[in-house]
Amino acid sequence: MQVPEVCPRFEKAVDILSKRWTTLILHQLLPGPQRFAAIEGSLRNLSGKVLSDRLKELEEEGIVTRTVYPEKPVRIEYSLTDKGAELAPILDQIQHWATCWIQLSPEEDRIPS
């Protein structure tokens, strides 16, 4: 029996979404626009450099948009594009699956303050 080849579009999508921190960043942007510091503060152990790299990659892919507000000081917000917002049902399903099937230790289960 011949195994079908993986669709190149599916392979690219998985490549984009499987980079460390990417889906967590997207999940944080689901509720709406956020500033860099808010995203960084919401994800433990995420360095500013990695966050910056991931946001640039997602912006290049058309998944995230960066909006600069010419205020003093300058305000920059990141948000999902329509393309990025299309991932919401997928991320919701991952959340549902995780709630049903992923067991955490008491230390992992506590919400950071």
CA 26 to centroid of chain Cα atoms: 2
pTM of the model: 0.88
Question: Edge to edge, what strands does the sheet with 64-69 contain?
Answer: 34-35, 75-80, 64-69
- 112: pLDDT strictly greater than 60: no
Q: In this predicted structure, what is the pLDDT of residue 111? A: 62
Please list the alpha-helical segments (H only) found in 4-87.
8-17, 22-29, 36-42, 48-60, 82-85
Give per-residue pLDDT as tens, 39-58.
Answer: 999 998 999 999 999 999 99
Residues sharing a CB contact under 8 Å with residue 53, sequence separation 6 or more, in sequence order: none
Q: Are 36 and 100 in contact (CB under 8 A)?
A: no
Q: In this predicted structure, what is the pLDDT of residue 107? A: 81
- 113: pLDDT strictly greater than 70: no
Q: In this predicted structure, what is the pLDDT of residue 4? A: 87
Mean residue pLDDT across the chain:
94
Q: What is the mean pLDDT of residues 61-76?
A: 96
